[in-house]
Amino acid sequence: MPAKRFLLNISQNYSFAILRPLQEAIRDSNREVYWFVQGDSVNLTYFRADDKVLNTVDDVMKYDPDAVIFPANIAPTFFPGINVAVFHGFDAGKVDKKGLNDHYKVRHCFDLYCTQGPDSTVEFQRLAEKHQTFTVIETGWCALDPLFSNNMLDKVAAKPTILMCSTFSKKLTCAPHLFDKVKSLSETGKWHWLIQFHPKMDKSIVDKYKSIQSEHLTFVETDDVIPLLKQADVMVCDTSSVLIMFLLQGKPVVTYNNISPDEYLIDIDSPDKLEESIEYALQKPQCLMDNIQKFIDSTHPYIDGKSSYRVLDAIDKAIEEKPSLKPKPLDLFRQFKMRKQLQYWKF
């Protein structure tokens, strides 16, 4: 019996862009879908007129979803239905305070992990065999379905477009280090610059970049980075996982002090190298493009724009297989925090 009722659980504005392709697939499959907002970091004006929203946990319980989908690392385990992790980004190599890769940390919240490609699938399958409490199915990332659609956007200008993105982490961000160089390069008018930062970026840095807007540089605030990825020819970044989404289009990325630079990136350690590195990227040298293609094949080989439908098939399969899984270990502290945030104490 296929799942009929879905709940899209979000806690950040970027979750809209991740889950909207999945909402479209659910509707196209003649199944029901609602949204639920967890926490107070979501801009409610991003909801559209035809979006259905549940306002309280009691509403969620009455709706009784077959599956709750999370673009997050943690989730309440007391909602009805299976918990599905679809991720809020790719593995960018970031580690926690203990030196462990945060992308593969099992927090005993999910029944199904919908992995993005072979490299992530292998590790999650290893963890699934170890814990035996969840299912892993490779689907591709639903957020990228629009990236591989045919509605390519017209470029803003005939000259090359450079998209700069950055993480908010003070240790990893490139934004403050590259400001002066980006400012001077934008003033030449040689390229058109688009600047887009993580929503948690320090406001003082955001204000600095906004202050240099011109006909050659635009600061963009959006909940959907996909149109920017399509529009740009080269990305400038650091260790933000958004660079992976850009690479998957077969486009070069220049990084500043990336924590795990590889041959598919053009990594620099000085702002003075930025201009020459962008020039090199725009040439698309064959050796670089070959390395990018190898990265695509292992990270996210799905270019059909149908990952959302594979997620739905995976959910149906996971519901069937759930009785064969072991019960999850209790995580009383994390779930207490979750109940406190949601102000829900019914058992």
Residue type, 4: K
Residue 254 phi/psi, 5-degree rounding, is -100, 125
pLDDT in the model for residue 3: 86
Write out the residue range of the structural domain in which residue 111 sits.
5-147+305-342
Q: Are residues 182 and 271 in the same domain?
A: yes
Distance CA 283, CA 269 (A): 21
pLDDT in tens, 111-147: 999 999 999 999 999 999 999 999 999 999 999 999 9
DSSP state of 122: H
CATH code for the domain of 245 = 3.40.50.12580
Query: Are 60 and 123 contained in the same domain?
Result: yes
In a domain, 95, yes or no: yes
pTM, rounded to two decimals: 0.85
Say if residue 185 is in the same domain as residue 284: yes
Residue 152 in this model has a pLDDT that exceeds 60: no
Check which CATH number belongs to the domain holding 60 and give it.
3.40.50.11820
Does residue 347 lie in a domain region? no
Per-residue confidence band for 347, with pLDDT thresholds at 50, 70 and 90? confident
**pLDDT tier at 99, thresholds 50, 70, 90:** low
50 within domain boundaries: yes
Residues 337 and 276 in one domain: no
Alpha-carbon torsion, ordered 57, 139, 224, 93, to 10 deg? 100
| C-beta separation of 330 from 146 below 8 A | no
Half-sphere exposure of 180 (CA within 13 A, CB side): 5
Same domain, 242 and 288: yes
DSSP state letter for 27: H
Same domain, 164 and 140: no
Mean pLDDT is lowest, of 122-126, 220-224, 305-309, for 220-224
Same domain, 161 and 290: yes
- Quote the pLDDT of residue 157: 53
Res. 154: pLDDT tops 50: no
State mean pLDDT over 49-67.
97
Give the β-pairing of 53-54 and 266-268: unpaired
- Does residue 246 lie within any of the structural domains? yes
Distance of alpha carbon 47 from alpha carbon 164, whole angstroms: 27
Residue percentage of the chain with pLDDT more than 90? 82
pLDDT of residue 158: 78
CB proximity list for 79: less than 8 A, separation 6 or greater: 7, 9, 57, 60, 61, 65, 68
Q: Given this model, what pLDDT does residue 320 score?
A: 94
206 and 118, same structural domain?
no
Q: Which residue has the higher pLDDT, 152 or 217?
A: 217
Q: Which two tokens stand for residue 12?
A: 């950040």
The pLDDT score that the predictor gives to residue 346 is 87
- Per the domain annotation, does 71 fall within a domain? yes
> Tokens 């509605």 belong to which residue?
151
pLDDT surpasses 80 at 101:
no
Residues 107 and 26 in one domain: yes
What does the pLDDT read at residue 196? 96
140 in the same domain as 205: no
Tens-place pLDDT, residues 166-183:
999 999 999 999 999 999
pLDDT the model gives residue 334: 86
Q: Is 310 a member of any domain? A: yes
pLDDT at 80: 96
Domain count, the chain: 2
Q: 28-42, 99-113, 296-310: which has the minimum mean pLDDT?
A: 99-113
Q: In the predicted model, what is the mean pLDDT of residues 229-256?
A: 96
